[in-house]
Amino acid sequence: MAASSSNSAEFVAENRGFVRRDGRHFLLNGQRIHVAGANSYYQMIHRRTGHAGADEILDEMQARSMTLLRIWAFQDEVEEGGCLQRAPHRRLGRKERPIDFIDTATLMALDQTLAAADARGIRVVLTLVNNWDDYGGMNRYTVWRYGWVRHDAFYTDPTIRGWFKDFIALLVHRVNTVNGRMYRDEPTIFSWQLANEARSSWNLAGALNDWIGEMSAYIKSIDPNHMVSTGIEGFYNTGHAECNTDLWMCACGQDFIDNHLHPSVDYASCHIWPQNWGWDPVGHTTWAMAKARQFLQQRIDHAHDVLGKPLMVDEFGVPRDNHGTGPSGGPTTVRERFFQDLYYASCEASVSSGGPLAGTALWMILDDATASWDDGNGVFLPQDAALDAIISAHARRLAGVVGLECV
Query: What pLDDT, on the 0 to 100 scale, is given for residue 403?
Result: 42
Q: What is the CA radius of gyration of the chain?
A: 20
Residue 113 counted as domain residue: yes
Question: 259, 216 in Cβ contact below 8 A?
Answer: no
pLDDT tens per residue, range 251-301: 999 999 999 999 999 999 999 999 999 999 999 999 999 999 999 999 999
SS3 assignment, position 404: coil
Question: 101, 86 in Cβ contact below 8 A?
Answer: yes
Range of the domain at 174: 33-398
| Segment among 84-93, 162-171, 201-210, 363-372 with least mean pLDDT | 363-372
SS3 assignment, position 219: helix
Phi and psi (nearest 5°) for 160? Answer: -65, -40
Residue 268 counted as domain residue: yes
Residue 4 counted as domain residue: no
Cα gap 113→55, rounded to integer Å: 9
pLDDT tens per residue, range 159-172: 999 999 999 999 99
Max CA separation in the chain (angstroms): 59
- Domain CATH code at residue 353: 3.20.20.80
Residue 352 counted as domain residue: yes
C-alpha dist (Å) from residue 315 to 78, 116, 329? 26, 22, 21
Cα gap 268→248, rounded to integer Å: 21
Residue 232: alpha-carbon gap to chain centroid:
9
400 pLDDT tier (thresholds 50, 70, 90): confident
Before 382, cis peptide (omega within 30)? yes
Residue 324 counted as domain residue: yes
Task: Give the CA count within 13 Å in the CB-facing half-sphere of 353.
Answer: 12
Q: Is the pLDDT of residue 312 over 60?
A: yes
Residue 17 counted as domain residue: no
Domain count, the chain: 1
Residue 243 counted as domain residue: yes
Residue 138: alpha-carbon gap to chain centroid:
16
Residue 16 counted as domain residue: no
